[in-house]
Amino acid sequence: MLQPVFFDCNHNNDIDFDAVATWAWAGFFKVNQGLEFTDKSFTSRRAEMEKRGLLVGGYDFATADPVAENVERFLDLCRPGPTTACCLDFEDNEHSEMTGDQAWEWLDRVRQKIGRSAAIYGGNRIREHIDGQSAKWIDMALTTPLWLCEYLTGSFADIASLRPHLKIPKPWVDFTYLQYAADGAGPQPRKMPGVENGSDLNVFDGDRVSFIGGWPGVPMQHPLTA
């Protein structure tokens, strides 16, 4: 059976942090949704996780808002430390659709600001709106962790047995993180201690040492300041 190592959620989801600490290595929490929405639970949940020695990541749910303003707001709210992961949640948003070019700009601005890469989360929207043949995206994908979401049917003993069935969006050649279960879809297990039934559960193909080392993102050798 698959072994999830982190979860992700927003303010709508209840968490028992002591129970989560029995299995999770990390948690990703919503920070904002563009310029209009702030998830006010992020700061307190971050503190609860870090108090238990768990890693934390913050994500921005993609919108069509001006990217420069959005990135400034996200970083001001998230205040990423040296072990904080950052992520763009690039999925469909019928009220305010971020384009592929805006996604690239978001990732680029964040890595220039914090000196290391952010991850991108998604599945079909990445396939449909990111040009896998584009030179700028090929370069971006080299250092941008792909957090793939794909909910397969069936039973899988481990990541190796699941991997051949996944569709990796170009230009990535593999995923770094995989959200294999959400909202009751996907293979077992779909429930873990401390999070709601049907929560978003994620796996990593490696040990805890490599997970911790890669969580903050890939450092840039020469980050800009603008």
For the chain, the domains span: 6-214
- Pairing status of strand 200-203 against strand 177-181: antiparallel
Q: Which of 189, 174, 172, 178 is nearest to 150 (CA)?
A: 178
pLDDT in tens, 11-66: 888 999 999 999 999 999 999 999 999 999 999 999 999 999 999 999 999 999 99
For 134, the token pair is 């584009």
Cα separation, 4 vs 150, whole angstroms:
14
Cα maximum dimension of the chain? 48
CA atoms within 13 A on the CB side of 127: 10
> pLDDT tens across 144-175, in order?
999 999 999 999 999 999 999 999 999 999 99
**Distance between CA atoms of 135 and 145, rounded to whole angstroms?**
17
pLDDT of residue 226: 40
Full-model pTM: 0.95
Question: What is the C-alpha separation between 68 and 186, in angstroms, rounded?
Answer: 36
Residue 206, token pair as written in the block: 């490696």
Burial class (CB in 10 A: 0-12, 13-18, 19+), 167: exposed
Q: pLDDT tens digits for 201-226? A: 999 999 999 999 999 999 987 655 44
Q: Are strands 146-149 and 119-122 parallel, antiparallel or unpaired?
A: parallel
Superfamily designation of domain 6-214: Glycosidases (3.20.20.80)
